[in-house]
Amino acid sequence: MKNSILYSILFLKCPQCRQGEFLKENPYHLSRMNAVRSRCPRCDLKYSIEPSFYTGSMYVSYAVGIAFAVATYVVLLILGHADDPLTIFISIVVVLALTFPYIGAVSKAIWAHLFIKYDAVIAKQAKNESRT
């Protein structure tokens, strides 16, 4: 599970070795919210392929935000609270406001994983180096 792409994206790990931390801080550390490290601490991968590389993650962020909004609506339907449009609206706004930092971080991770491929050899080397 720890070498899966889903784990790597959800737990904000390096796309190449899937072990190193992707962000400088926790996404909810608001003063440095979603600041991407310059390099992976495990495999030394340069995270930014080109200037303004993560600008495209805005499109991913929109899709992830819609997914959270739809999931909120489905939960309200299951709980039987989806009969009032104001309740639905407020619930979705609250969920999106609370998850905003994480949505931004996951969007950057997804964007990086689209362009940087996993390398099993480098991952094994990074794992072995961490043991020594």
**Residue 6: its pLDDT value, please?**
95
Report pLDDT digits (tens) over 81-100.
Answer: 989 999 999 999 999 999 99
CA distance 16 to 37: 14
DSSP state of 37: P
**Residue 131: its pLDDT value, please?**
60
CA distance 102 to 118: 22
The two structure tokens encoding residue 120: 């099993």
Lowest mean pLDDT among 4-8, 67-71, 75-79, 123-127: 123-127
CA distance 126 to 40: 10
**Residue 3: its pLDDT value, please?**
81
Nearest to 22 by CA among 31, 30, 10: 10
Amino acid at residue number 109: A
CA distance 48 to 55: 11
CA distance 104 to 84: 29
Report pLDDT digits (tens) over 31-75.
Answer: 888 899 999 999 999 998 898 999 999 999 999 999 999 999 999
**Residue 32: its pLDDT value, please?**
85
The two structure tokens encoding residue 118: 């996993």
Helices (H), 14-84: 57-79
**Residue 130: its pLDDT value, please?**
65
